[in-house]
Amino acid sequence: MTDIDTRTPSPPLGYSCQCSLPEARQIDLVAEFHAFRIRPTRIAYRLGIDIALIDALLAGDYKKQVFNQRVRHHRKRRLHTRLSTAERKKGQSAFEARKHALTDFETEADL
């Protein structure tokens, strides 16, 4: 097997938008989408961010500390949103929503 990366740096023209955001914003967006369990190819398609950058961030090869900090931030924000949504429910459904949100958060933290 060869070590040459044959993928194009970004999705082809006409396939998605081209990303004109600064790198710091791209890293934050990838972290946010990753916290919501969006696939890397979908992130590249929707935002036009280079798939190689997304793969490097997810693998921890590029700006690992910054990326992990942003992912933690977005996961905590997602947990807070899910818990506040659970508070609007009543009885057993509220309990199950809270439990599911906390279980997801704990398993994501282990990843």
Q: What is the spatial distance between Cα 105 and Cα 79, in angstroms, rounded to a whole number?
A: 7
Q: State the pLDDT at residue 7.
A: 64
Q: State the pLDDT at residue 110.
A: 52
Identity (one letter) of the amino acid at 61? D
Q: What is the pTM of this model?
A: 0.68
Q: What is the spatial distance between Cα 88 and Cα 100, in angstroms, rounded to a whole number?
A: 15
Q: State the pLDDT at residue 55.
A: 85
Q: State the pLDDT at residue 83.
A: 79
Tens of each residue's pLDDT in the chain, 111 residues: 566 766 655 555 545 566 778 888 888 989 988 888 888 888 888 888 888 888 888 888 888 898 889 888 988 888 888 878 888 878 888 888 888 888 888 787 655
The structural domains of the chain, with segments of one domain joined by +, span: 23-110
The three-state DSSP-derived secondary structure of the chain is CCCCCCCCCCCCECCECCCCCCHHHHHHHHHHHHHCCCCHHHHHHHHCCCHHHHHHHHHCCCCHHHHHHHHHHHHHHHHHHHHHHHHCCCHHHHHHHHHHHHHHHHHHHHC
